[in-house]
Amino acid sequence: MAEKYVTLSSSEKGGHMDYRNHPLFPEMCRVIGQVVLEIHEFGLAPKSLVIAGMLRTTLAGKQHQLAPETRAAMEMAITLMAPPPDEAP
Model confidence at 2: pLDDT above 80: no
pLDDT of residue 27: 94
Number of structural domains in the chain: 1
Q: What is the pLDDT of residues 11-30, one digit of tens each?
A: 444 545 677 888 999 999 99
Give me the domain span that covers residue 32. 23-81
Q: Which 8-state DSSP code applies to residue 64?
A: T
* Torsion of the alpha carbons at 18, 5, 67 and 20, rounded to the nearest 10: 10
- The pLDDT, as a whole number, for residue 15 is 45
pLDDT higher than threshold 90 for residue 5: no
For residue 14, being part of any structural domain is answered with: no
Q: Do the domain assignments include residue 37?
A: yes
Model confidence pTM above 0.75 = no
- Size (the chain), residues: 89
- The predicted-structure confidence for 36-71, as pLDDT tens digits, reads as follows 999 999 898 889 888 999 999 989 987 678 899 999
18, part of any domain: no
Q: Is residue 32 classed exposed, middle or buried when 0-12, 13-18 and 19+ CB atoms within 10 A define those classes? A: buried
Mean pLDDT of 27-35: 93
Q: Is residue 4 part of a domain?
A: no
Q: Is residue 7 a part of any domain in this protein?
A: no
8 pLDDT more than 60:
no
